[in-house]
Amino acid sequence: MHVSAQDPLSLLRKMERATLESAPTLPEENEGPSLWTGVGFRLGDLHLVTPIAHVVEVLPYPVITPVPGTKSWIKGIANVRGNLLTIIDLPEFFGKGPVFEDDQARLLVMNVDGLNAAVLVDEVLGLRHFDETEERQNTSNLDDPVVPYLRGVLLREKVLWGVFDMHSLAASSSFMHVAA
């Protein structure tokens, strides 16, 4: 009996072609919406969100040592793991009622070069994700002292979220002038 010898490499190539021709194709890659992520927080009845890169960490209301001769919205300094942070009551800075020391009050440690500071807010609402192209709103009808520090407004589930810029706040002369 005569057995036809086939080149093993040719046989493997033939099997590979047959496999590739009969293999199911991968679904086309559809690009979904590009989501923007920020840290949501509340100042009174205002819902704000700041870019996640503007916040180093979120902490509970700390033990604060007052600093005499400063404006009322400078609550003092706090020692956070050996780092002294200037504590700013953000609602009070904007002329609103001060943050109450309760279970919801939080400290947002600002990620601004050369500034060891943190802002007190009424409540942190966690990470928020937005599709900026679909959810951006007009800010011309807003009247609040916070508006100059907003980089837009986003609408999500019938709630307006102001996009708060920590760097813009830190650069403002009124924020840097803390002496009473």
pLDDT confidence of 11, banded at 50, 70, 90?
A: confident
Task: Summarize pLDDT for 110-134 with one digit per residue, the tens.
Answer: 999 989 999 999 999 999 999 877 7
Supply the pLDDT for residue 135.
76
Helix (H) or strand (E) holding 35: strand 35-43
Question: Alpha-carbon distance 93 to 98, whole Å?
Answer: 9
pLDDT confidence of 138, banded at 50, 70, 90?
A: confident
Question: Alpha-carbon distance 171 to 176, whole Å?
Answer: 7
Domains of the chain listed by start with CATH number? 38-176 (2.40.50.180)
Q: What is the DSSP letter of 73?
A: T
Q: Which SS3 state, helix, strand or coil, does residue 114 take?
A: coil
Q: Is there a contact between 167 and 112 (Cβ–Cβ < 8 Å)?
A: yes
